Amino acid sequence: MNQQHQDERARIREAMNRLLTGQAVASNGSLTVVALAAEADVHRMALLKRHVDLKNEFYERVRTETQQTPESERRLRETVTKLKKTVANQKAEIQELRQLVTRLTLASAVLTQEGDRPAERGRASDNIVPFPGTTTQI
């Protein structure tokens, strides 16, 4: 490791301690990676790419020392809950649509069968009007 890398890691660890003790000086004090990066004066992507272990350590310390769930995890859990509800609603809707298709198929079969009866074809009622373009004789 070069000296710059070691300095970044030292600043990140110091920033972790300040955030976890509520003594933030360069950030808003929230327990997020963005606040940690601002507090350590390190680019956020450096935490997410070069210092992943420190980011994970920070979130683990947030869980254990403050008995809190990190904000990003909380948002993900809320999103998962919403998506599970959406999936359940869609499954119910699909089931309803399948039942509707079955009922419509049966109704179509009944209507088709009734229209094919030769005895009834000749006895058309006076109030039946054929659709334009049909060749059915009444």
- Identify the pLDDT of residue 2: 84
Residue at 22: amino acid letter? G
- Identify the pLDDT of residue 5: 83
pTM of the model: 0.52
Distance CA 56, CA 40 (A): 16
Residue at 112: amino acid letter? T
Report the C-alpha dihedral over residues 13, 16, 17, 22, rounded to 10 degrees. Answer: 160
User: Is the distance from CB of 30 to CB of 37 less than 8 angstroms?
Assistant: no
- Identify the pLDDT of residue 89: 97
Residue at 34: amino acid letter? V
One pLDDT digit (tens) per residue for the chain, 138 residues = 688 888 889 999 999 999 888 888 888 888 888 999 999 999 889 888 889 999 999 988 888 888 777 777 888 899 999 999 999 999 999 999 999 999 999 999 888 887 776 655 555 567 777 777 655 554
Question: How remote is the C-alpha of 70 from its chain's centroid?
Answer: 19
